[in-house]
Amino acid sequence: MFPVETKVFKLNTSTDHTNAIYEAATVLKNGGLVVFPTETVYGLGGDATNPDAAQAIYAAKGRPSDNPLIIHVADPADAEPYAVTCDAYYRLARHFMPGPLTVILPKKDTIPFSVTGGLDSVAVRCPSHPIARQLIQASGVPIAAPSANRSGRPSPTCAAHAIEDLCGRVDIILDGGDCEVGLESTIVKLEDNRGILLRPGAITPDDLRAVLTDLSIAPAVTAALAQGERVLSPGMKYRHYAPAAPLTLLEGKDEDVRAFLIRQAALPGVGILCFDEEIPLMPANASLFPVGARHDLETQAHRLFAALRDADAAPHIEKLYAHLPPMEGLGLALYNRAIRAAAHTIVHIDPCVPKID
């Protein structure tokens, strides 16, 4: 069912990409699958106007076909044949496109329901990564692309992650190095020029509010879904980014959380997603997966998924701990991914209660 051979092209600034891009574009036009870098995470692309390509994407990813795909266009106005745009869309586009923003709009008939998981809306994104843009332009079609991970794994932030998950299941992987942002795009749904934030990302609620006067945040961004609750974005209902070892997020005073982590790090089978400053404080035999400096949220966003993958690959890890990210600014995107990875397990560290299991 899957192609036996996956071609990997390494594209760096010193090589001429033309042939690889041309070959990848031809594969897309013929209904094949191409993994490509974006500024957020790697995407698993197919022709968004071809219903069979969408089915192939779901199969390669092992993803339920009611979870819709984002279509990637080279310029904001290129969405016109596929989506019903509005004033607010173009205002957002002027500020944030090309870039890590996805906007959900009513769909037109040119986009098959297999791409939108049966919904009458479509998610539109205009990535800024030069390889993504060249690929879209060369293929002449919008590219439907979820993140290029197998379902349930963290999104890939470098080609090695995509190769790990999808080699033998796609035709081509374009290796464009590390993704700059490291977390998936911010998703906003527009309804009558009002915005609903469905997934936080590098473009923060404050950034959006500077452009959209009316923005609300979907409750599922920060909370667990109640049983049977209706979801605005089907992706919210699936367990995500789950590391093999259960992850617990810790909140509390800095010094209390740090003291707890140092004690835990000495135990066998425990892995810690720690801040860089904490590395020298930890026991020598600790299994550490550093995510960046305490206040450097950009680096934490850039490294979080790689750290979760590293923890998965490390032998004998049975339990993982990480700091609960703040909910402000870019922290909201980290918080949203972290609570999903932890299946909403958050523990408050209180120095009066010395031990948890």
Q: Alpha helix (H) ranges present in the chain?
A: 18-29, 51-61, 87-96, 130-139, 159-166, 205-209, 254-265, 297-313, 331-341
The CB-nearest residue to Mg ion is: 147
Minimum CB separation from ligand TXA for residue 133, in Å? 12
Pairing of strands 143-144, 172-175: unpaired
Choose, by CB under 6 A, the member of 38, 134, 139, 157 that binds ligand TXA: 38
Gap between the Cα atoms of 110 and 179, Å rounded: 30
Task: Tell me whether residue 11 or residue 270 sits nearer to ligand TXA (CB atom).
Answer: 11
Burial class (CB in 10 A: 0-12, 13-18, 19+), 55: middle
Gap between the Cα atoms of 258 and 265, Å rounded: 10
Task: Tell me whether residue 10 or residue 239 sits nearer to Mg ion (CB atom).
Answer: 239
Q: Is residue 233 part of the contact set for Mg ion (CB under 5 A)?
A: no
Choose, by CB under 6 A, the member of 43, 156, 243, 290 that binds ligand TXA: 43
For ligand TXA, which stretch binds (CB under 6 A), given 12-20, 179-187, 210-218, 315-323? 179-187
The DSSP line for 43-108 is: EEEEETT-HHHHHHHHHHHT--TTS--EEE-SSGGGGTTTB---HHHHHHHHHH-SSSEEEEEEBP
Minimum CB separation from ligand TXA for residue 77, in Å? 19
Map residues 186-215 to x or -, x wherever contact with ligand TXA holds by CB under 6 A: -x----------x-----------------
Choose, by CB under 6 A, the member of 74, 88, 126, 145 that binds ligand TXA: 145
Q: Is residue 336 part of the contact set for Mg ion (CB under 5 A)?
A: no
Which residue type sits at 135? L
Residues binding ligand TXA (CB under 6 A): 38, 40-41, 43, 67-70, 102, 104, 116, 119, 121-123, 125, 145-147, 184-185, 187, 198, 233-235
